């Protein structure tokens, strides 16, 4: 197998987001859950190793990322892509800086880029400043993120606080002039001792112009946007065939543990459409009540018509803060994740669910692990950043499972119904 791209993603939904952009640009892609202990059997152009390393201690994130790198190198990867969030989720302790630096050291590489730009989802970088939609990052709500509050929109400063390498900027003027101008700017920055260049990008056209300048660079670090410009470097062009998935028939369900604004709107829209939905109360879980058995009994009766049904812990920020105040942030998160993960397993193993949407990065991680899914084949996009995937899954029997992992802030308001209309 000739593996063009070996990718390391710092969370599970972010990994499918990256894989989705590569598939749309024509690559055949497999996403693995963690570092596999054997080679991927399928003939693919890219492998995305999904880690849960965004908010763990930096030393652990480095260790896991290096393990992923070594495995990808053993598969023959020609270029390494470190994928992080399009809102650059990190703290001065990491993990974007420390992981980037460790990968550079391990690859013997003295220069790389960093850009979270993802214009399809409103993330743009201008003069090194990151915007989410019309707002600067630090005015977008991300400044209140419980784990990685982003209070500075200037990515040169943010990255410089996380790395010993000198950080510089390739600004929009160089990007607008095309790959030769970008390469010239890379050379200029290198001669000034810069090791990491933040790159501006305002549109997909910018990312497509940037792509050729990255050919041969051992390490690229970015959100998922930069991926649209890389497949052409390997002679790959867009084709519907890359996103073909096996068809799987069965019942349909949505599990939502994300409390983002977008997911709150999506839950409301699903309920308002008159479909069946069940709310999970974290305090009842904490009181030791058997919420999993109750939810599965409810789903058993509601799924008679095939679904989709929705089971959710999604709540607005006031309600979440109140729960967290009573249980503690970590305990509340862990209890809810475990409960939704056990429900995911029951829905598939007991109730014949074969088309499953999961909302939230941490929630997706817990559900995928409970379903003992080791790898995902990436299919067609539902909304930017969210594709349908096919997973071999023992609990689902021979045909496996169709699953979509939705990042908290992605998707239109009707995502939970429109996903099933878009099943491949
Ligand atoms: N009602 C609730 N009260 C307190 N915590 C909750 C509640 N519902 C969910 N949680 C927890 O909140 C966290 C949500 O994180 P998750 O990563 O799943 O969603 P997200 O942050 O919106 O998604 P993403 O990381 O993709 O942006 C999980 O740990 C989940 O268990
Ligand atoms: O880049 C993004 O915004 C997403 O893929 C993600 O990583 C959300 O957690």
Q: Which ligand is nearest to the CA of 137?
A: 2
Query: What's the CATH code of the domain at 55?
Result: 3.40.50.10840
Dump pLDDT digits (tens) for 15-26: 999 999 999 999
| 346 vs 294: CA distance, rounded Å | 11
Q: Is the CB of 400 under 6 A from ligand 2?
A: no
Number of domains in the chain: 2
Is 152 in the same domain as 47? Answer: yes
Cα-to-centroid distance, 193 and ligand 2 (Å) = 30
CA nearest ligand 1 atom 10, residue: 333
- Nearest CA to 79 out of 138, 179, 4 is that of 4
Is 48 in the same domain as 117? Answer: yes
Is 231 in the same domain as 255? Answer: no
Chain-wide mean pLDDT for the chain?
A: 96
Model confidence at 42: pLDDT above 90: no
Using the 3D structure, point to which of 238, 270, 292 is the last residue of a domain: 238
Q: Is the CB of 359 under 6 A from ligand 1?
A: no
Name, in order, each residue with C-beta under 8 angstroms of 255's C-beta and a sequence gap of 6 or more.
310, 311, 312, 340, 343, 344, 347, 356, 357, 358, 359, 363, 367
Dump pLDDT digits (tens) for 136-151: 999 998 888 877 899 9
| 353 vs 322: CA distance, rounded Å | 33
The answer to whether residues 119 and 191 touch, using CB atoms and an 8 Å cutoff, is: no
CA nearest ligand 1 atom 7, residue: 313
Is 120 in the same domain as 223? Answer: yes
Q: Is the CB of 14 under 6 A from ligand 1?
A: no
Query: What's the CATH code of the domain at 371?
Result: 3.40.980.20
Name, in order, each residue with C-beta under 8 angstroms of 334's C-beta and a sequence gap of 6 or more.
none
Is 221 in the same domain as 203? Answer: yes
Q: Is the CB of 223 under 6 A from ligand 2?
A: yes
Using the 3D structure, point to which of 218, 238, 258 is the last residue of a domain: 238
Name, in order, each residue with C-beta under 8 angstroms of 162's C-beta and a sequence gap of 6 or more.
90, 92, 93, 94, 96, 97, 98
Dump pLDDT digits (tens) for 150-188: 999 999 999 999 999 999 999 999 999 999 999 999 999
Which helix (H) or strand (E) element contains residue 415? helix 415-421
Q: Is the CB of 336 under 6 A from ligand 1?
A: yes
Dump pLDDT digits (tens) for 218-246: 999 999 999 999 999 999 998 888 888 99
Is 326 in the same domain as 233? Answer: no
Is 62 in the same domain as 117? Answer: yes
Is 320 in the same domain as 402? Answer: yes
Task: Give me the residues paired with residue 170 across strands.
Answer: 199
Dump pLDDT digits (tens) for 121-136: 999 999 999 999 999 9
Q: What ranges in 83-226 are assigned the alpha helix state H?
A: 96-107, 155-160, 172-177, 179-191, 204-210
The answer to whether residues 324 and 286 touch, using CB atoms and an 8 Å cutoff, is: no
CA nearest ligand 1 atom 6, residue: 333
The range of the structural domain enclosing residue 33 comes to 5-238
Residue for token pair 């409960």: 339
Q: Which ligand is nearest to the CA of 341?
A: 1
Using the 3D structure, point to which of 220, 238, 256 is the last residue of a domain: 238
Dump pLDDT digits (tens) for 347-383: 999 999 999 999 999 899 999 999 999 999 999 999 9
What is the pTM assigned to this prediction? 0.94
Dump pLDDT digits (tens) for 180-223: 999 999 999 999 999 999 999 999 999 999 999 999 999 999 99
Is 283 in the same domain as 188? Answer: no
For residue 1, what pLDDT band results from cuts at 50, 70 and 90?
low
Q: Is the CB of 327 under 6 A from ligand 1?
A: no
Is 227 in the same domain as 290? Answer: no
Is 196 in the same domain as 95? Answer: yes
Q: Is the CB of 282 under 6 A from ligand 1?
A: yes
Is 229 in the same domain as 249? Answer: no
| 389 vs 381: CA distance, rounded Å | 9
- Nearest CA to 404 out of 384, 421, 424, 419 is that of 419
């Amino acid at each position: 197998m000739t593996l063009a791209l070996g990718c390391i993603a710092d969370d599970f939904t972010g990994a499918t987001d990256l894989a989705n952009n590569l598939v749309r640009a024509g690559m055949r892609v497999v996403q693995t859950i963690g570092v596999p202990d054997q080679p991927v059997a399928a003939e693919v152009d890219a492998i995305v190793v999904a880690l849960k390393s965004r908010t763990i201690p930096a030393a652990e994130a480095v260790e896991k990322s290096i393990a992923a790198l070594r495995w990808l190198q053993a598969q023959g990867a020609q270029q390494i892509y470190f994928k992080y969030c399009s809102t650059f989720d990190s703290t001065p302790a990491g993990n974007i800086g420390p992981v980037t630096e460790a990968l550079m050291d391990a690859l013997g590489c003295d220069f790389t880029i960093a850009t979270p730009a993802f214009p399809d989802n409103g993330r743009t970088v201008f003069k090194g400043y990151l915007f989410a939609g019309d707002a600067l990052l630090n005015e977008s709500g991300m400044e209140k993120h419980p784990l990685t509050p982003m209070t500075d929109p200037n990515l040169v400063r943010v990255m410089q606080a996380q790395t010993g390498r000198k950080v510089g900027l390739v600004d929009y003027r160089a990007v607008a002039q095309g790959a030769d101008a970008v390469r010239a700017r890379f050379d200029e920055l290198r001669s000034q001792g810069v090791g990491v260049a933040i790159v501006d990008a305002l549109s997909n056209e910018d990312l497509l112009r940037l792509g050729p300048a990255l050919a041969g660079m051992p390490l690229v670090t970015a959100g998922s946007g930069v991926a649209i410009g890389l497949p052409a470097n390997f002679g790959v062009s867009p084709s519907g065939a890359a996103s073909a998935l096996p068809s799987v028939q069965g019942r349909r369900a949505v599990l939502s543990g994300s409390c983002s604004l977008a997911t709150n709107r999506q839950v409301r829209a699903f309920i308002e459409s008159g479909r069946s939905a069940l709310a999970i109360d974290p305090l009842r879980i904490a009181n030791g009540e058997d919420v999993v058995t109750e939810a599965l009994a409810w789903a058993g009766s509601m799924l008679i018509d095939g679904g989709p049904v929705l089971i959710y812990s999604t709540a607005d920020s006031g309600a979440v803060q109140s729960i967290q105040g009573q249980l503690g942030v970590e305990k509340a998160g862990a209890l809810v994740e475990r409960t939704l993960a056990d429900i995911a397993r029951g829905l598939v193993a007991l109730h014949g669910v074969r088309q499953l949407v999961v909302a939230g990065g941490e929630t997706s991680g817990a559900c995928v692990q409970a379903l003992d899914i080791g790898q995902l084949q990436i299919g067609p996009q539902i909304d930017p950043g969210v594709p349908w995937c096919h997973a071999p899954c023992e609990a689902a029997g021979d045909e496996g499972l169709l699953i979509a992992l939705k990042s908290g802030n992605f998707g239109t308001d009707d995502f939970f119904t429109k996903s099933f209309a878009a099943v491949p």
